[in-house]
Amino acid sequence: QLQIVESGGGLVQPGGSLRLSCAASEFTLDYYAIGWFRQAPGKEREGVSCMSSSDGRTYYADSGKGRFTISSDNAKNTVYLQMNSRNPDDTAFYYCAADRWGSAWPPPRSHFGSWGQGTQGTVSS
Listing DSSP states for the chain in one string gives ---EEEE--EEE-TT--EEEEEEESS-GGGSSEEEEEEE-TTS--EEEEEEETTT--EEE-TTTTTTEEEEEEGGGTEEEEEE-S--GGG-EEEEEEEESS--SSSPPGGG--EE---EEEEE--
| Chain-centre distance for alpha carbon 24 | 12
How confident is residue 49, by pLDDT bands cut at 50, 70 and 90? very high
- The pLDDT of residue 37 is above 90: yes
Task: With a cut of 90, say whether residue 92 has pLDDT above it.
Answer: yes
Question: Above pLDDT 90, what percent of the chain?
Answer: 80
Percent of the chain with pLDDT over 70: 98
pLDDT at 28 over 70: no
pLDDT grade for 103, boundaries at 50, 70 and 90? confident
Pick the more confident residue, 14 or 104: 14
> What pLDDT is recorded for position 29?
62
pLDDT bucket at 36, cuts 50 / 70 / 90: very high
